[in-house]
Every structure is written in structure tokens, then in C-alpha cells.
Structure 1
Amino acid sequence: MTDQSNADIIITKVDEAPELASASLLPIVSSFAAAAGVSISTRDISLAGRILAAFPEYLSEAQRISDDLAILGDLVKTPEANVVKLPNISASVPQLVAAIQELQSQGYAVPDFPEAPVSDAEKAARAKYDAIKGSAVNPVLREGNSDRRAAKAVKAYAQANPHRMGDWSADSKTRVASMSGGDFRTNEASVTLAKAAVAKIVLKAADGSEHVLKDSVSYPAGTVVDATYMDVAALQDFLTAEIDRTKAEGVLFSLHLKATMMKVSDPIIFGHGVRAYLAPVFAAFGDKMATMGVNPNSGLGDLLERVKSDAQIMAAIDACMAARPPLYMVDSDRGITNLHVPSDVIIDASLPALIRAGGKGWGPDGKEHDAVCVIPDDSYAPVYDETIKFFKENGKLNPATAGTVQNIGLMAQKAEEYGSHPTTFEIAQAGVVQMILDDGTVLHEHAVKAGDIWRSASTRKAPIEDWVNLAIDRQRSEGCRAIFWLDETRAHDAELIAYVKPILAAKGVAHLFEIMAPREATRASFETITEGKTCIAITGNVLRDYLTDLFPILELATSAKMLSIVKLMQGGGLFETGAGGSAPKHVQQLQAENHLRWDSLGEFCALGESFKFLADTKGNEKARVLGNAIDAATQGVLDHDRSPGRKAGEPDNRDSHYWFARYWAEAMAAQSDDAELAAHFAPIAKALAEKEAAILAELHAARGQAVDTGGYYHNDPAKTAAIMRPSATMNAIIG
């Protein structure tokens, strides 16, 4: 493996389970690639790496690292880009603080996270940390739109080996609750700019003062610019009513947000959820808890840690929770509730899991119960609401016969809400927020109160046009039903429809596409796949994120095995390894039992596409042979059930990598397109087969024992390599 920036393929260094798996898989990939003259390098976009890159002035020369995210951000805007991106942490504040503390304990003198910055140094540090938290990576790298679908081998395996699905009953009490007014959906306004403009966002307060919230926001011509706000008084009333209603229904209370991606708005909304659930405690002890550093936005776990020494507050909390509806649990064995940490319950993973389980969630008693799923903003809540209604009416999905939903997602150039972080504000005082263009035009205007959450998002013309054309190409390839998930009654979607329809008409393909609001599109898609057919969901950025977990988790049992291709707008390629998250529980299990259940199948799929893309762009036909052989190896892993098991004692990630390497080598040795490569890999394949018993014995020698990776967010490479590459026999064969 090389560290040169001009390598043929760059594989990202990330966090948690995918990074542990990389310690085993990357040496295999680098060795096999070298035989075809393909160079592999890595770039560090992990949370710890991003922190270290942001504060070189606090570090010794030996500790400093390059800003690899910025380097990759430039690369993806070029035709030469060929990047395999593994899942990385989209950090909440508690995760960010934990990573900072771990780095400090390792001798990296990065500054503390300033909760309430006062000095210039604290304000500067906070600004840097704010740029790191949340989804700092994806908007930078995704300079193209998304093509996500189940690889054929993966889908065929799921149908032949259907996973367990929970049973749905028509009388299930599980439901979705969202606001009927005062939310982002209701208050949204949207305009398409006829010409390029620069805007400023101003709060004109009721007391006559004027505050510039953001200046010099530039938009090219044709940009769709949205603005909206959440009425926090309406939010509080909604949460209070839903807590009471949930109590009366006798089911679990759960709050589902995306605090990692919507890193300004959703932690605030989460905090209101914590405050509403513990309303009597905040009424009695709010001021005192504030002096103890309590911030409800950080979650119930942080709150309990700060007040645990105050018996009076703890008694009030116990009494309040006893009177409230039981909480949906993230980990009932450890007492981790839905409200403990804002990043613990991520809507696109938490709700599909609950739906797959028949609408059941784990309660504090360690048993499964129906649940109320609170999604305050109504923009995308109808997707989950309609899904639950569909299964109540029709029963669970049958993975053995279900078709598949592919996705074409609009996400390039920080499209839509996921690009709104720099223009989202918690309003300090009542007044009017205006978005004013450089020619004096007031583009958007909202009357707001103190505490309201105002935001603006934008979507540029070129990504929209690229998205529509990508959808046309995919529909042409599949010849199946294709639906634009757009609601003509929603301000933003109406502007997109004004782009979509003329392009479809000009290409003569309007009759091949449907346009439906998300609720209707959800039902239509489930009806289609229930018939065993393929459907393409053509969606915006948030729905891309939600649906590429929802449908794969129901179809395949996981979203980590999705084929995820980002066709970069300048001609490069970004190959993502599914949408499986970073799996913190997998890390905990490895450290406790030396068993890593992370499945690298998504990495296998992405690598195959990356090698074939390299062949197309650089004319390296040996790379194509490698890519085709990866497809065969992936099929072999599936056909022979070589994926990791969940429990210690079963084969794990390292076993699957041995089999992947063996099947890859065997496919290379057997292929007839390149005799030189076949000759190179024949002895490798032979050795891996002949030494199977020895290799597997070495891989399993220390299983069941606790291991030390030298860190959680910033592990020790030598310790991790020793854990993840324990077979000297295999290491010698691979080289």
C-alpha cells in the first residue's frame, strides 16, 4: 500500500468496526492490486483524524497529520477521482467530546470542547469543532448524485436464504406521530433564482435591533433556495400531548431524529424531547441543573451523570420516569434509553429495525412492546407512517419473494436539508428573519419567537439536472417502474417538479416515470416489490438516506450490503460501502470477546466497482479482471455462507476475509482473460486452499478473550493489526 496522493484507488480510513475490518482486508486488497499494477492509498477521514487535522498548532511535529478530508474534497472535483468510502462517524457532541478526551489521554494536546465559549481561543476552537461534528464528511465528498441498489448476488442470496421478519398484526398499537402544524414542512417557502445572487440572513428583532445571522451566502443562477422554521411552542405542545397519549395507550415512547446529519436543528429538537419527558423535574430543578452544566440537548445520559450526586434531583427523576410511558430502549441490559444520547437513535436505522421486528421495540423490562414513533417534523414522517399502515393491512414482507427498490438520490453539492448546517439558527429573540439578496429583494421572511429553529437550504441547478438524467439512465437500464418522490403541495418539491417535467418531456420519456408524494410513493413501492418486481425510487437527499436503509433492511436484513455508487459530476467515481453505519456494538464485542461481526460485503461490492471503473477510465484491463474476479469472490462468500456470525465462537470478519481472498485468488487463477495474472495467482490460490486448516486455527486461537486495540476512536495500528491479522500463515501467503 502506498501513501502517495496520486494512487489509482484511495480507500478511506474511518472509525469503529469498518476501520477494524480494514486492518484485515486492506493488506489483501493492496497485495492483489499490486499484481495488476494498481496502486492503493488511504486517506484519514475518521473523527479522530479530523480533530487532529484541525489543530496542528496544539500538536508536536510528529503528531501532526494532513487534512485528508480537504484533500479528498479537492480530488472528487476532478475526473481522476476513484475513492472507496467506508462508513464514518457523523459525530454528535457526546461522541466528539469522548474522542477529544481519548486523544488527550494519548498525549495529543487538543483543546477541550467549549460548551459555552467566552475567550477568543475558545470561540476559535468551538468553530473548528462545530465544523467537525455532524456529517462533516459526506457533503464534502459527495460531488455527485447517488445510485444505490442491491447487488444481484446479494439480492439472490437474500431470496434464497430469507431472514427472519417479525409478525405484524392488524391491531398493533405501533404508530407514527408527527406535528400537524408549526413544523419545517408547514412553514417552508421555496424560490428558484432567475440569476446568480448573494444573500444575507438577518434577524430584525421586535425591540428594533438588527442582527446579521449569516452574510455573503452565494448562489448560482437556477438554485432552488428554501427557508423554513420550527415553532418551538408548537413542538413543546406536541411532545407533551404525545407523551400523555402514549402513557394512555400503554406502549413505549420513542423519539426518532437524525442528530448526526442535522447537526444544528435535531440536537435542539432532541433536547426538547428530553425536557418534555422530564418536564416536572425541569420545572422544579431547571435552574439548579443548569448550574450543574446540564444541557438537555446532550441527552438523558449526560444529565444523569451530572446530577447523580444530588439525591433530591435523582428522586424527582425516578418519580417522573415512573409516571411517564416506558421508553424505547437502545440497550435494555445496560439501561440505555431512547433519550440517553442524541446519536444513539438515528431514524433511518432505528425505524426500519422496529418495522422489521413487526413494530416492536425493546422496553425497560427487557421485553418487546408496541411503540409510538415520534418524528416531530412531518416532511418525511409519512414514509414511515404509510409503511406501518401497509404492514398492518398486509402482514410482513416476504424476503424470499420480494422484489427490490433501487434509489437514485439527489445529493450533490450539499443539496437540500443536509446542506443546511451553516444556515440553521436557534433564534435568540422574537422578530422577523429575512433572507435578503444583494439587490435588496427579500427572498424569504418568517416571523419567529425566541427559541424557534430557522433554517435555509439550497439545491443547485446542475445537480438537479444530473439527478434527472441519472434516473433516466437507470430506468433505461432496468426497464422497470420509476417514481419521483415529490409532493406538489410542498414548496421545495414544487420547484423540483418544475425542473423534472421539462427534462423528461425533452428526452421523450415522461410516460416512463411517475411523480408521487412520499406517502403515495411508499405504498406504490411496497405494492410493487410485494409482487416480486423492481422499482426505482428517485428522491431527494434525506429520502435517499432514509430509503436506502428502510428497503434494504426489510429486503436483505441489512443496509450494509448495498452497492452504492456516486457518479461524480466531473467524471470521477466515489464508491460507498453501503449504509451500515459504524457499528459501535461490534467494537465493544471485539474488545470483550475478540469477535468482530462486521460484514465487509459492502466493501467487496464497492471494490469490484472501483476496479472496473479504473479499467474504464485508465484503460487498465488487468484492473477489470480483478474487478470481475471480486464479483465472483463475493458470490462465493454468499453461496458458501462465509459471512460473519453474530456470536463469539462463530466465524467472524477475519474468517470471511480469508474466504474472500481465497475465492478471489481462485477466480483470478481460473480466468482466461489474462494469462500472466492467472499464473501469478495460481500458487496463491493453491496455498490458501492447502493451508486452510492452519489458517483457520490461527485465526481462532485467541477468540473469546478480551483484546486491547489501544483506543476506541484512535486505536493503535500495531495492536489492531496484531488482533485483526493473527494468521502468520495467511500473512506470508498474501505478502
Structure 2
Amino acid sequence: MTQSNEKIIYTRVDEAPRLATYSLLPIVKKFTEVAGIEIETKDISLAGRIIANFPQYLTEEQRQPNALEELGELVLQPEANIIKLPNISASIPQIKAAVKELQEKGYKIPDYPEDPQTDEEKKIQKTFNIVKGSAVNPVVRMGNSDRRVPTPVKNYAKKNPHSMGKWTKESKSHVATMKAGDLRTTEISKTITEQTAGNSRIEFIDTTGKKTVLLGKLPLIPGEIIDASAMSKNALRTFLEEQVKDAKEKEILFSIHLKATMMKVSDPIIFGHVVSVYFKEVFEKHAETFKQLGISPNNGLGELYAKIKSLSSEKQKEINDDIDACYSKNPKLAMVNSDKGITNLHVPSDVIIDASMPAAIRNGGQMWGPDGKAYDTKFVIPDSSYAGVFQKTIDFCKEHGAFNPSTMGSVQNIGLMAQKAEEYGSHNKTFEIHGQGVVQVLSESNEVLLERKVEDGDLFRMCQTKDLPVQDWVKLTVNRARTTGFPTVFWLDENRAHDAELIKKVNVYLKDHDTTGLDIKIMAPDDATQNACEIIHQGKDAIAVTGNVLRDYLTDLFPILEVGTSAKMLSIVPLMNGGGLFETGAGGSAPKHVQQFMAENHLRWDSLGEFMALPGSLTHIGKRTNNPKALLLSETLDKAVEKYLDNNRSPSRKVNEIDNRGSHFYLAMYWAQELVSQTKDEEMKNKFTNLAKTLAENESKIANELLAVQGKPIDIGGYYKPVEELAIKAMCPSETFNNALDAL
């Protein structure tokens, strides 16, 4: 324990990063113990969140504390020091799968009620909604984001460039987005004053004058920006029908790009419209059957196939034939897994825009078709808010060819996300409207603050952005621009309602700082994309200063082009009350990693994100608690990571080659060696001498022990909630390595 009783909180999450934790955390704990640092874990996995929210259904032994609530309180404290790994932002199919697994393990969690009828079912659904979608990030991100590719990672990528697909000027790939009736074009915005602050509410008033309170108590404080917008169901479906037809005529793949996990209310509904437009004849013809089976297009084709298995073979054949007829008539779909026939429309959480669009751009603008070959693609992004960013990048690649990872520069990001800023904090203020009329945001004194006309099936969304996070965002931006000297651009569009309000604040708060000699501009996202592409094409670096969703998109887009993945990002969240949150990259490919692990006992997850987050966390605690040993651990770990990369110890994708466990062994060996070779702390040198010697002498033996277990299926007792003993045994299979660590 440190002098001031502070500790590092390490989050337990899902899928591949969870498995990796069983192997990496014992190493980290052993090294940090020597510096008197305690590491405590908090379970914020999907299964952990479900268990924590349904204690009344469980036995005393099965219950567990609500770790997310605890973290929500901790991030407001100055001593907060949290390493956050990527967790599942749960879609309904994922929640159902997790519940099924927990039920099979004896947890009497209720089923997820998709169409709740009774008060009890409504209460259960409300509880599940706490878990659904991006339940974690809005709680823990009580600060703005500072994301960049670490220097060792960038240097390695330049020396060892990843493959890039070939771009041609003849490419038919393009982004399709709505021109009207979407969330951007209908957006209105205003800043709250002293007079309009207080408890607001959101009401729907239909054409007969009947009022329905959608949200009864919504506190608003002076200085915050509020927005309202509506997506027209009719405009959306007309747009989708046009795009399906156009993709067929152009003979290119049709793909939809949403974020049905993070945008847990709006995007699954939009996804459902895509499914029911593409398979229109199927959903119209079999509407009654689907209603009886509880089939919703929002959950994708995968659920449809699963649920019709309860029907007679004749009825199944009829539905399958009708589905095949839609496939024949319509454009080919982009695939998630061509070998298994899993399309872009099977599961809403399979294709996540911030990961899928950069991967396609990296692949020469192509996605995989049903035959396993790559084809030009129509990228359908219904809401036009940020669709242009991807189209501008595509246009740049068509003109200049693919970016060259050996020579291209880097785009760092300062992201506005504190206190649930913008769209990602909108879940409780997003509604599917039933009826025709208006939705109003009303002040405590019944003044109409915002109003949107709506029709049946439209989506209404309200967002908030508080003033203190904006001030902090501007301060972070100026500090970063001063530290680097890079050209810095706020990606804000004066012609978009929300951005226009934000620009007013940025111009005011920039005056609070010395910006002499700094290159700081404001540009609309499309122009800013062009500008950033030109800068990095020349091998120079830039800083993008963005809102919450663009932060997410850009910190996947540019790193995937620059270094091949966004999992290797350094992602620091300086919490507004003085603490630190250190995030470890993206987890988009984690499900595939787990599938391979189960089949071959080979985990290809690269823990580099965790490696990069640790030095920041150690430095933070070292400075706060005046602990030079913590600072030394940070410094030597940075050097060990560089050695790890230079010696190419990252996990291989192929079985019977180095995997995640082997990469952890090498990190431990290099870290121990760096601690022995340093001259600042004799005690630390002596502590690690035996470990460094033992690991070096037994390098080939340990590597062979780690390889020997690969090549056959492994059972760890669960996907969402593995059996701890089985998972630890699977992820720590080298007795030689385990014994060496134990001896430290």
C-alpha cells in the first residue's frame, strides 16, 4: 500500500481483454507490489453488470457489488487512478446470450422482455436498460479525452508497415447519407441561462392535445448547451429503398454502418429499418408469424433464423425461400464472415461504424462479399452528422492512393466527452415516437425551450453539453498545442446548430489562455478531414479537437490507417477533479479472438494497449504520492515496451506461434531486465536480479511450455462469465514462468 493509501483500480471486462487479464495482471501485481502499490479489480463486464443489477433474484453467494456505481463515485475523487479495458457495449442479442449463460450456471436472472406487458416486465426491462449499450463510458468518463499513438508504436509501424489495400480512381465505393429528415438537418440548439435553468421535462403532445411525459425530471444548469432533433421514419425508409436500388444498379456491395451498441436506443431501431427494407417482402408476408414468434428486425437476421426453427419444416422452407428471393433481387450484402454466411444484417452489434469504416478504407475501400472476395461497397450511414468525414477520406485516397504507414504523420485527438457530453449521453433522452404531434422540452416555468414536429415511428433525440467540460476541453487543447507545436483544429461546423453554440464558447474560452505562436483554427468536419489528410500525407502531425462521437470515430480512423489498429492508442482521460482514467484501446475484434481461443487455445489479443496505459497510471500515482519507485516502474516499462516491439514479440494470428501469453512473458522479462540495468534505485535493481536471470536462462523452456498447450479446443466454462480456476489455468500454463514470478 502506498503512503497515502491510494491504489490503482484495474477493470475486469469481457471477451479477449478479460482472458488476457488472467495472464497479465499477476505479472503487473508482482512488479507493482515491490513499489508498495496495491492493485484492486472491479468487475464491469456485461455479466458482472447484470448480476449487480438483479440481486433480488440471486443467492447471497451469487450477489456481487455494483462495481460501476462504485467507479462512478471514485472518478469524482482526486485520488482516482483507473485502468479501463474495453468492455462490451451490449446489444439486446448480447444481453440475451449473457442471461442464458448465467441461467445455465444457476443464476435465476429473468429473461429480457422485449415487449413488456405487465408492470413487473416493464420494471425488469428498465433494469436491463441500465446495462444495455454504452453503460460504462458515460459513468467513468468524468474528464475529457487525450488520445494519441505512442511514439514506440508509431516508430515500429514506420519500420514495419502493415499492409494497405490498393485504391484506384475508378473505385465505385462511396458513402451514402441522408440529405434531409435526419438528426443533423433537423437539429436545433440553445444555451441555458439563469432564467431557463432548473428541472426541465420532455413531453409529447399528439394532434388531439393529449400529453405524454417522456422524461419527467431533467436538471439543466446555466451555461450548458441543449439540442433537439428528430429522424423521420418515412424519410429514412425512402432513403434506404433508394440506396438498395442504387447498389444493385451499380453492382456493388450494400453495407450499413451504425453504432447499435453505444447509441443503444436510436441505432438498433435504424438497423431494424434497414433489415425490414432489404427483406421487405419477407417481413410483410410473414408479419403475423413474426409477431407470434417475437421476431424484431432490430435484432437482425440472426435472431430471425434462430426463432423460425420452432416452426414446421414446410413453413421454415417457405420463409427461407422468401429470404433467398430477396437476396437474388437485391444487391449483395457486405459480410461479417463469408465462410459462415454471416451478413452485415445478421446482428446489430457485429458492424460498428468506428471500426468498420476505417477497416474498409484501409482495405482499398472494399468489403468482403458472400463469395469471400473483396468488392467496392456502398457504405450506408443514414445520419449525415459525420458521414462526410469518411467520404472525404475516401475521396482523398481515390485521388492520392492509399496512405503509406512508413511515411505518414499522425493525428492526435482532444475529445470533449466529460459529463456525458453530446450524443453519447443522450440514451435517456432518445425516444421512438408513437403518434403524430410535437415533442417539447419545457423549462420549470413551462417555457418551451426546444420543439420538434414528429410523426409515428420517428426518433426524437435531445442532447446536453455542460459548460465546465467545454472549459476543460479548451484548456487541454491549448496545453497539447503548446506541448507539441502541431497545427490544431476544432472540428466544428458553424452551419450546424449545436456546433454554432459550441463555437461561441470556444472563442470566449480561448481568450483565457496564452495562444501566442500557436496554430489553432476552427473548421467544419469535412474541411478539417481534407486538411488532416493533407498534413499526414506529407508526413507531418496534427491535433484534431472534436466532440464526443467524432472523438470515437477519428481515434479509430487515423490509428487504423497509421499503425493498423486502434487498440495501440494511448488514451488518457485527465479527470476533472484531479484523478486519472487510463483507457487501453478498442475491443472491436475481441469476439473473433475468443472464438479462435476456444477452438485452438491460441489468443491473438495484443495487450499493447494495456502496456501503454500502465506507465501513465504509474506516473500519476508516483507523482501524487511522491513514490519514486512507481516513477521508475513507469520509466522502465516504457523501455520494455519499445524492446518488446523491436523484437517483434506481439501475438501472431496463427496457432502454434507466439500468442498473448507469450507476449506477456516477454514483456515481464524485458521489464525485469530494464529494472536491473537502471542505476537510480539499487534496491529495485537487487529485487529483480533473480527474476531477470531466471527468465533469460529459461526463455526457450518457457516459450515452449506456452506453445505446447496450443492446437486443441479448450473449455474455460463460459463466454460471458468464465470459471475463474479454468481461465487462470488456461492463461497461465507455464509452471516455470509461474514459479519464477512467485519467487519475486
Query: What band does the TM-score fall into relative to the shorter chain?
Result: over 0.9
Superposition map of 1:306-345 within 5 A: 306-308=307-309, 309=311, 310=315, 311-345=317-351
Query: What does 1:673-692 correspond to in 2, within 5 Å?
Result: 673-692=680-699
Kept after mapping to 1: 8 A contact 2:298/2:348: yes
1:440 is aligned, of 424, 439, 446, to 446
Between the aligned partners of 1:200 and 1:461, the Cα distance in structure 2 is 20
The match for 1:659 among 653, 656, 666 is 666
1:400/1:603 CA distance change after superposition, 3 Å: same
Indicate conservation of the 8 Å contact 1:608/1:631, yes or no.
Answer: yes
Whole-Å Cα distance in 2 between the matches of residues 23 and 649 of structure 1?
20
Supply the AA of the counterpart residue of 1:12.
Answer: T
For residues 195-221 of structure 1, give each alpha carbon's deviation from its aligned partner in whole angstroms, at most 9, with x where no partner exists: 232211111101221111111100111
Distance 2:573 2:82 in 1: 10
Aligned to 1:496: 502
Residue aligning to 2:601? 594
Conservation of the 8 A alpha-carbon contact between 2:6 and 2:79 = no
- Of all paired residues, the percent bearing the same amino acid is 54
Q: How does 1:23-422 map to 2 (within 5 A)?
A: 23-195=22-194, 196-308=197-309, 309=311, 310=315, 311-422=317-428
What root-mean-square deviation, in Å, do the aligned CA atoms of Structure 1 and Structure 2 show? 1.2
The answer as to whether partners of 1:7 and 1:40 remain within 8 angstroms in 2 is no
Q: Secondary structure at the match of 1:187?
A: coil
2-side partners of 1:139 and 1:200: how far apart? 21
Q: Return the letter of the residue paired with 2:432.
A: E
AA partner of residue 398 (structure 2): K
Cα distance in 2, alignment partners of residues 412 and 507 from structure 1: 20
SS of residue matched to 1:433: strand
The alpha-carbon deviation at position 285 of structure 1 amounts to: 1.9
The Cα offsets for residues 621-645 of structure 1, whole Å up to 9 and x where unpaired, read as 1000001111011001101000001
CA distance in 1, matches of 2:331, 2:246: 9
Larger CA deviation: 418-427 vs 280-289: 280-289
- 2:643 equivalent in structure 1: 636
Measure how far apart 1:194 and its partner are. 1.3
In 2, the alpha carbon distance for the partners of 1:694 and 1:365 equals 43
> Could you tell me which amino acid in structure 1 is paired with residue 327 of structure 2?
M
Q: What do residues 309-355 of structure 1 show as CA deviations (whole Å, max 9, x unaligned)?
A: 42222211111111110000000011110000000000000010000
Task: Give the Cα–Cα distance (whole angstroms) in 1 for the partners of residues 347 and 257 of structure 2.
Answer: 12
Q: Which stretch of the first structure deviates more once superposed, 262-271 or 511-520?
A: 511-520
Within 2, Cα distance between the matches of 1:504 and 1:137? 31
Distance in 1 separating the partners of 2:523 and 2:566: 24
User: Normalising by the residue count of structure 2, what TM-score does the alignment of the two structures yield?
Assistant: 0.97
What's the secondary structure of 1:397's corresponding residue?
coil
Paired letter, 1:554: L
Q: Show CA shifts across 1:122-151 (max 9, x none).
A: 111111101101000000000000000011
- Three-state SS of the structure 2 residue aligned to 1:355 is helix
Letter in 1 for 2:91: S
Please identify, of 418-427 and 192-201, the stretch whose mean Cα deviation from structure 2 is larger. 192-201
The Cα offsets for residues 674-708 of structure 1, whole Å up to 9 and x where unpaired, read as 11011101111001101112211211111101000
State which drifts further: 575-584 or 76-85: 575-584
- Measured in 1, the distance between the counterparts of 2:102 and 2:731 equals 22
1:167 match: secondary structure: coil
Shift of 1:6: 6.2
Mean Cα deviation higher: 86-95 or 288-297: 288-297
The C-alpha deviation readout for 1:288-316, integer Å capped at 9, x for no partner, is 32222110000111112223442222211
User: How high is the TM-score relative to the length of structure 1?
Assistant: 0.99
SS of 1:629's equivalent in the other structure is helix
Is 1:507 aligned with 2:513? yes
Cα distance in structure 2, aligned partners of 1:450 and 1:391: 41
2:572 is aligned to 565
Q: Secondary structure at the match of 1:555?
A: helix
What is the alpha-carbon distance in structure 2 between the residues aligned to residue 693 and residue 445 of structure 1? Answer: 68
- Residue 7 of structure 1 and its aligned partner are, at CA, apart by 5.2
Which residue identity lines up with residue 552 of structure 2 in the other structure?
D
Q: Which range moved further: 431-440 or 232-241?
A: 431-440
1:479 CA displacement? 0.3
Give the one of 561, 583, 586 matched to 2:590. 583
Deviation at residue 395 of structure 1 after TM alignment: 0.3
Q: Deviations over 1:632-662 (max 9, x none)?
A: 1100110100000101121100110000000
Q: Check conservation: 2:571, 2:613, Cα contact below 8 A.
A: yes
2:701 aligned partner: 694
For 2:139 and 2:246, the matched residues in 1 are separated by: 42
* Higher mean displacement: 465-474 or 509-518: 509-518
Take 1:558 and 1:652, find their aligned partners in 2: how far apart are those partners? 17
**SS at structure 2 position matched to 1:523:** helix
C-alpha distance in 2, partners of 1:277/1:288?
Answer: 19
Give structure 1 regions of 4+ aligned residues with deviation exceeding 4 angstroms: none
- Pick which of 315-324 and 182-191 moved more: 315-324
In structure 2, the residue matched to 1:707 is: 714
The offset of 1:121, in angstroms, is: 2.0
Deviates more, 1:590-599 or 1:313-322: 313-322
Whole-Å separation in 1 of the counterparts to 2:9 and 2:204 = 44
Q: Secondary structure of the residue that 2:227 maps to in structure 1?
A: strand
Show CA shifts across 1:412-454 (max 9, x none).
0000000000010000110111100012210111110010000
- Cα distance, 1:115 vs structure 2: 1.1
Where 1:61 maps in the other structure, the secondary structure is: coil
Partner amino acid, structure 2, of 1:437: S
Secondary structure, counterpart of 2:217 in structure 1: strand
Secondary structure of the 2:61 match is: helix
Tell me the CA shift for residue 512 of structure 1: 2.2
CA offset at residue 582 of structure 1? 6.0
> Distance in 2 between the 1:636 and 1:138 partners?
32
Q: Deviations over 1:595-633 (max 9, x none)?
A: 000000010000111001111111111000001111011
C-alpha separation between the residues in 1 aligned to 2:484 and 2:588?
Answer: 28
Distance in structure 2 (CA, Å) of the matches to 1:427 and 1:192:
25
Amino acid at match of 2:230: Y
Question: Structure 1 residues 6, 121: CA separation in 2 closer, same or farther (over 3 Å shift)?
Answer: farther
Query: Could you tell me whether the CA contact under 8 Å between 1:348 and 1:545 is conserved in 2?
Result: yes
**2:492–2:525 contact (8 Å) kept in structure 1:** yes
Point out where structure 1 has 5 or more consecutive residues left out of the alignment. none
The residue number in structure 1 matching 2:561 is 554
Letter in 2 for 1:372: K
Unpaired segments ≥5 residues, structure 2: none
CA apart distance, 1:172: 0.3
Letter paired with 2:467: K
For the Cα contact (< 8 Å) 1:89–1:581, is it kept in 2? no
Are 1:535 and 2:542 an aligned pair?
A: yes
Distance 2:140 2:673 in 1: 35
User: Which of 421, 426, 432 lines up with 1:426 in the alignment?
Assistant: 432
One-letter identity of the residue aligned with 1:368: A
| Secondary structure, counterpart of 2:283 in structure 1 | helix
